[in-house]
Amino acid sequence: MADITIGDVERAVKTTATTVLRNEHYFSDLDGLAGDGDFGTSLATGFRVIDAELPGIDKSAIGAMLLKISMLVSKHVGGSSGPIWGTGFMKAAMVSKGKETVTLVELADMVNTAVEGIMARGGAQLGDKTLLDALIPVTEKLKAHAAAGTADLGLVLKECADEAENAIDATRGLVAHRGRASQVGDRSAGTPDPGIVAIATILQDWCTEFGVERTPTVPELLKQTV
């Protein structure tokens, strides 16, 4: 089984920044359906800094790179997204401290620890209609492939992207219980959560970046800025 290298992680971060910046207005428009409409702008503000500083960030280890990114996110991403996304990167950095490569098992541990940190920081859980409704199924899929010893990392990525996309439709009819959308009560039902859409869009773009064939089907991914 091939390991995930520092270069792979850097490409994933670079692709994430490109995705966030390209969809800044689209993610904000989605947020405006039930929230305050600033999600895309808040996220893009931080990832614009990350995109600019990524070439010079310490890449002696995966953990060192992710720790610096967590600091930039926490400092530059506004609203609730800064602490949430910053915590995720920080927790993943702690698990990958000193590592130049990680196995699929270690990657699953990184993502699982990040999700646990996000849950603890924000107080949300599965079913609250937040990005966790995408991240938790993705984590479980990662853990299942890690336990099975799957050698095809492209397959793992595709199926993780499937889980994130499925979460868009699975949560569309839910009432939000966390975040600004929770303040509008039943009005949040019938609208997609922008955080879930963002995770699904990022994973779709990772598929493209790493040469994994996958065609999205839900309207939100088909409408993303390309």
Residues 6+ apart with CB under 8 A from 158: 207, 212, 213, 214
What is the share, in percent, of the chain residues with pLDDT greater than 90?
Answer: 76
Domain, as residue range, for 42: 4-222
Selected residue with higher pLDDT from 33 and 47: 47
pLDDT band at 184 (very low <50, low <70, confident <90, very high): very low
Give the C-alpha separation, 104 to 147, whole Å: 9
- From CA 200, how far away is CA 6, in angstroms rounded? 23
Higher pLDDT, 225 or 101: 101
Q: Indicate which CATH number applies to the domain containing 62.
A: 1.25.40.340
Maximum alpha-carbon separation in the chain: 48
Number of domains within the chain? 1
pLDDT of residue 189: 64
What 8-state DSSP symbol labels residue 127?
T
**pLDDT at residue 34 in the model:** 64
Is the pLDDT assigned to residue 122 strictly greater than 90? no
Average pLDDT for 130-137? 95
The CA distance from 198 to 40, in Å, is 9
Please report, rounded to a whole number, the percentage of residues in the chain having pLDDT higher than 70: 92
| Segment 184-213 mean pLDDT | 85
The span from the CA of 107 to the CA of 127, in Å, is 24
Distance CA 79, CA 170 (A): 26
- Please check the confidence at residue 178 and state whether its pLDDT lies above 90: no
Closest to 44 in 3D by CA, of 89, 81, 92, 1: 81
